[in-house]
Amino acid sequence: MVTDILSEYVSKTQKSKIIFEEAIKYLPLGVSSNYRFFDPYPIYLVKGNGGRVWDVDGNEYIDFILGFGALEVGHANPKIINEVTKALQDSSILGFEYYKTVELAKIISKRYNVDMVRFSSTGTEATMHAIRIARAYTKRKKIIKFEGHYHGSHDQLLININPMVQKDRVPSSLGIPEETLSNTLVAEWNNLESVEKLVKSQSNDICCVIMEPVAMNMGLIPPEKDFLKGIFDLSKEYNFLVIFDEVKTGGKMYSGALGYYNVKPDIILMAKSIAGGFPLSVIAGKREIMELIGPNKVAHGGTFNANPISVIASYVTLTQILTENAFYYMETLSDRLERGYRDIADDLDVDLKVTRWGPSGMIYFSKEVPRNYKELLKTDIPRWFTYFYSMLNSGILPMAGFNEQWTVSVMHTKEEIQKHIEKAYDAVKKAKEERLNLKLFEAF
């Protein structure tokens, strides 16, 4: 029974429940990010090592969430620990520029085929500054984003991220004035006609289109054939910039989505996995655009930008850990997971579809793979919840939500993949029989 699944979760996580009851007195929802909350209460973790994490109750989980895709290096990777420990002896922040920042910028420039690089700390900062740069370069105001794409928690892009009510324009937070969003236009992913319509109606005032080149905040939905090409063609015809938000995708292929699809956006943004779990984000792009940054031009600052610890962690990550051989290994493991889920769907005769891109993938309880956010909401999400809590009870963190995906790391083993598949068989079987009708939680 479905109620037994939740009862088992509660029985296994009593210490998390106690912490939650105390935490909600001091932390809204008892957490520090809305995405970390789920009903009836979240688990509280203590430590991680390799491909596993442990909670306060002592439960051990094989972790395929990996900090929402930030840890392809795995938990407590010894190469990062060794170099960061040494770097801490020379200070965690220096004020003026750290000398190894230049080396890291050169590595990123070569690997991702960009001219110039600026560092910040978070993906939110990167997207916020990128919009400012695009407006300065084009001398235009309006932005086109896609429904279901997430670009950080600043006001300009907090619209139609995960709306449960289907309307053309849905602010994703209270406290955002409509005039702040008046220059943000929303298109539908994998629908070039919706982009063309916006571009043609606002042709003299579109400064940029910003996108996750592979949508990874509404499951995992790659661009359809010719969709990216159509956007780049429109950008040339109407003189607006194309911004790739590769905060997730930048660390999921050796040269990110721009390398995988062999395209050259005007600006790319990266964070998460390129720094091995440390706070670092990248704004990079064409020289004539990036050189607008400076005094009396485009403002960009931050005390913690390119702090020595994050720079060292990123340098080690990109040069010693996330190598081409490492991506081949992760691809092999992720492919095994994909094939495992397809076999499960066939064996149990259940409507379950799988998408995968590199080390990440997603399952949908649906007859068809969704093409956009509206189609994602038409999948059988209550069955996904049954699956999720069953996996949790079995010691597997499969993915963080119905709009997230699995990620494998360089430290996962073939045995851990096999265990994931074995537990997934039982979880999908339960989901076929029962639907867990939880209230959908809008993170934003």
Query: Cα separation of 201 and 204, whole Å?
Result: 9
Contacts of 331 (CB under 8 A, 6+ apart): 358, 359
pLDDT tens-digit readout, 64-81 = 999 999 999 999 999 999
Query: Cα separation of 133 and 113, whole Å?
Result: 19
Q: Are 133 and 298 in contact (CB under 8 A)?
A: yes
Query: Cα separation of 215 and 367, whole Å?
Result: 20
The amino acid sitting at 134 is A
The C-alpha torsion from 42 through 48 and 51 to 57, rounded to 10°, is: -50
For the chain, the domains span 2-72+323-433, 78-321
CATH code for the structural domain at 2-72+323-433? 3.90.1150.10
Query: Cα separation of 79 and 317, whole Å?
Result: 8
Query: Cα separation of 444 and 173, whole Å?
Result: 6
Q: Are 8 and 393 in contact (CB under 8 A)?
A: yes
Any catalytic annotation for residue 373?
no
Marked catalytic residue, from 61, 112, 137, 150: 150
Under CATH, to which class is 78-321 assigned? alpha beta
Dihedral of alpha carbons 200, 202, 205, 208, sign: negative
Q: Which two tokens stand for residue 337?
A: 């997971």
Marked catalytic residue, from 63, 245, 266, 380: 245
Q: What is the DSSP pairing of strand 360-364 with strand 52-55?
A: unpaired
Any catalytic annotation for residue 90?
no
CB burial string 153-164: b at 16+ within 10 A, e below:
bebbbbbbbbbe
Any catalytic annotation for residue 15?
no
In the three-class reduction of DSSP (H, G, I as helix; E, B as strand; rest coil), residue 298 is classed as strand
Helix axes 2-12, 14-23, angle to 10 degrees: 80
Marked catalytic residue, from 145, 248, 272, 423: 272
For the chain, list residues with pLDDT below 50: none
pLDDT tens-digit readout, 178-199 = 888 999 999 999 999 999 999 9
Residue 1 has what pLDDT? 55
Query: Cα separation of 2 and 398, whole Å?
Result: 19
Q: Are 411 and 81 in contact (CB under 8 A)?
A: no
Q: Which two tokens stand for residue 211?
A: 């996108």
The phi, psi pair for 356, rounded to 5°, reads -145, 145
